[in-house]
Each structure stands twice: as structure tokens, then as C-alpha cells.
């Protein structure tokens, strides 16, 4: 492809202009460089003098300032730690609890779409909490796999399906807290 001479001249002109302006800017800045350095030196010196000054502050005010600073510092550290742990917590989306595989998603700090799967065939389990309707029976929820001859894979005592799901959520959060304490997250 042949170069267009008009375009070449235009590009050269633009390049010359940019180069000229750049050189002018650098030369102009050099002129103000000693003034800038002097200003920087004065500022640093002023800050140093300010830091060396002594002030008479009542002890109660000093203690309040120290306490506030400590609290702010501590909360900043906690916040930084929780931000650092968050990605790892958000990647914790499955676990074996009460002999079945539980999977879930995170929506913010909430556990959503929590459900259990068969540890043998990975089939979605169905539940049976009918006995919770009877007053004199032990309240429990059975999790059954249709793929494994309707075998009861897990029986969780305490309440119906809703109770069980909340219990599993509490267990997930307990595990997270424990893992954080053991620095595994």
C-alpha cells in the first residue's frame, strides 16, 4: 500500500507540534524547579517544627484521644482482616454435613439456594418431614435419594425442613467462625 504524501506531511506537522510543546513545557518547568524545591523544603521543615512543638493538654483529653485512636486502629485492622477473608469465605460453597453433601450460594453475607445431594450418586435428595405434623412423634426430617432405591441418606432430628435448613446454615456459619479462628480461611 502506497503512503499518501499529504497524510505524511500532516503527521509530521502534528508530531513536530507535539514535540515543540513538550520541549517548551519541560523548559518552562525547569525555570520553576528551584522555586518548587524551595517550597517543598519549607513545607517539610514547617511540618517537622510542628511535630516537635509541645502542647499542654489535660490528661483526660489525652486519654480520650488515645482511646479513640486505639478503637479506630483496632476496627480498621478487623475490617481489613474481614475483607481479606471474604473472598475465601465466598468460595466456601459446599460441605458434607450430617452425611450428605450440602451446596449453597452467597448473596452478600446470606446463604441462599441451600440444598443437599446424595454422597453416593450426587442425586438431588428429596425430603420427608411428615412426622413433624404429629404431636407425639420426634420431630425430624429425612433426606431420601430416589436414585438409590429411595434410601434414607440422612435423618436430621429437631424439626421440619425449614428448621433443618436453618440449622445447616447455622452449622455452616459455625464452621466458618471456627476455621477463621484456626486461620484456615
Residues forming the site for Zn ion (CB under 5 A)? 118, 120-121, 123, 145, 147-148
Of 142 and 169, CB closest to Zn ion: 142
Least distance to Zn ion, CB of residue 121, Å: 3
Of 12 and 147, CB closest to Zn ion: 147
In angstroms, rounded to a whole number, what is the distance separating the alpha carbons of residues 154 and 118? 9
Least distance to Zn ion, CB of residue 75, Å: 48
Least distance to Zn ion, CB of residue 101, Å: 10
DSSP state letter for 1: -
Least distance to Zn ion, CB of residue 147, Å: 4
SS3 104: strand
SS3 56: coil
Of 78 and 126, CB closest to Zn ion: 126
Least distance to Zn ion, CB of residue 119, Å: 8
Tell me the residue nearest to Zn ion as measured from the CB: 118
Of 11 and 124, CB closest to Zn ion: 124
Note the Cα 5 to chain centre separation in Å: 57
Note the Cα 79 to chain centre separation in Å: 10
> How large is the C-alpha radius of gyration of the chain?
34
Of 122 and 138, CB closest to Zn ion: 122
- Is the torsion defined by CA of 172, 175, 176, 177 positive or negative? positive
In angstroms, rounded to a whole number, what is the distance separating the alpha carbons of residues 129 and 154? 12
Amino acid at each position: 500500500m502506497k503512503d499518501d504524501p499529504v497524510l505524511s506531511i500532516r503527521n509530521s506537522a502534528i508530531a513536530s507540534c507535539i514535540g515543540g510543546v513538550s520541549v517548551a513545557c519541560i523548559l518552562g518547568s525547569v525555570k520553576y524547579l528551584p522555586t518548587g524545591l524551595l517550597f517543598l523544603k519549607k513545607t517539610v521543615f514547617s511540618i517537622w517544627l510542628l511535630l516537635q512543638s509541645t502542647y499542654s493538654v489535660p490528661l483526660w483529653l489525652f486519654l480520650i484521644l488515645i482511646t479513640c485512636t486505639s478503637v479506630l486502629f483496632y476496627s480498621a485492622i478487623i475490617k481489613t482482616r474481614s475483607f481479606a477473608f471474604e473472598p475465601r469465605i465466598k468460595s466456601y460453597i459446599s460441605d458434607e454435613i450430617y452425611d450428605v453433601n450440602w451446596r449453597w450460594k452467597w448473596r452478600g453475607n446470606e446463604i441462599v439456594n441451600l440444598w443437599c445431594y446424595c454422597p453416593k450418586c450426587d442425586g438431588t435428595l428429596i425430603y420427608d418431614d411428615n412426622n413433624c405434623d404429629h404431636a407425639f412423634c420426634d420431630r425430624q426430617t429425612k433426606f431420601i435419594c430416589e436414585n438409590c432405591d429411595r434410601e434414607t441418606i440422612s435423618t436430621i432430628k429437631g424439626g421440619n425442613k425449614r428448621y433443618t435448613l436453618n440449622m445447616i446454615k447455622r452449622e455452616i456459619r459455625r464452621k466458618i467462625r471456627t476455621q477463621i479462628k484456626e486461620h484456615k480461611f
